[in-house]
Structure 1
Amino acid sequence: MSRREVPLKKGCTQIDRVVVGYDRPLETFFAQAIAIDADGEDVTLIWQGTYPGELATPRSAIALIEQYCDVPEDLARQLETDRLATLAQADGPNQQAAKRALIIGEAEPPRPKPGR
């Protein structure tokens, strides 16, 4: 997974931190915008890219946060490079099980019935 913190626009007071990246197991880009409440706790205001394939392009993630950030000119290219760097990686057993649980609500792969 890649994770890149994006600089906030000067004067942006409603958000304290913005992060975008690529999640290889879910095959999606993601965007998070986080504020800090009066108790000093993180409050996530935007968090998209949590489902398989939800944000298919770097631009789709950037569009969610650009109103708060000074988006670097090459951020989309950096994110696409992050994605390309993961193409040869495969899911391990735990990632496969997590995907099955997320996608079809099944924690274990289907097993053949006895006698078949």
Structure 2
Amino acid sequence: MSRYELKPRPGNGVIKAVIGWDRPLQTFFAQVFTPTEEDPEEGEATIWLGTEPGELPSPEAAIRVVEAYADIPETLAADLGADRDATIGVKDGAHQAEAKQRLFGSLH
């Protein structure tokens, strides 16, 4: 799994945006965090996509989710693609396979 914290754009109430690759779910993910009264520094993810297998199939799909809220480094799509490519052929461990079976009804 990879995870990149992005610098939020000013004036939109966002604390941070996060994007990355989740190998077990075979999807990219994107999160946008806004402050809460309980935790104004860390906040909560008010946008969170990439929690289902294959939901965000490309780096560009994940970037589209966060680009209105955060600055996107020029190399981000390539870095995310490299993260995915580095996990090609990696198999789930027994616990991951069991969890997928329970959660999704298949091993994907």
Normalising by structure 2, report the TM-score.
0.89
Which structure 1 residue ranges, 4+ long, deviate > 4 Å from structure 2? none
- Alpha-carbon contact 1:12-1:68 (below 8 Å) kept: no
Classify the secondary structure of the residue corresponding to 1:33. strand
Match of 1:63 in 2: 64
Indicate the SS of the match to 1:40: coil
What is the aligned-residue RMSD (CA, Å)? 1.6
Contact 2:12/2:69, CA 8 A, preserved across alignment: no
- Tell me the matched-pair count: 105
Unaligned stretches of 5+ residues in structure 2: none
* Bigger-Rg structure (1/2): 1
Cα distance in 2 for partners of 1:15, 1:27 equals 27
Q: Which residue of 2 aligns with 1:20?
A: 19
Q: Secondary structure, in 3 states, of the residue corresponding to 2:33? A: strand
Contact 1:31 1:61 in 2 (8 A): yes
- AA of the residue aligned to 1:102: L
Which residues of structure 1 form unaligned runs of 5+?
110-116
SS at 1:21 equivalent: strand
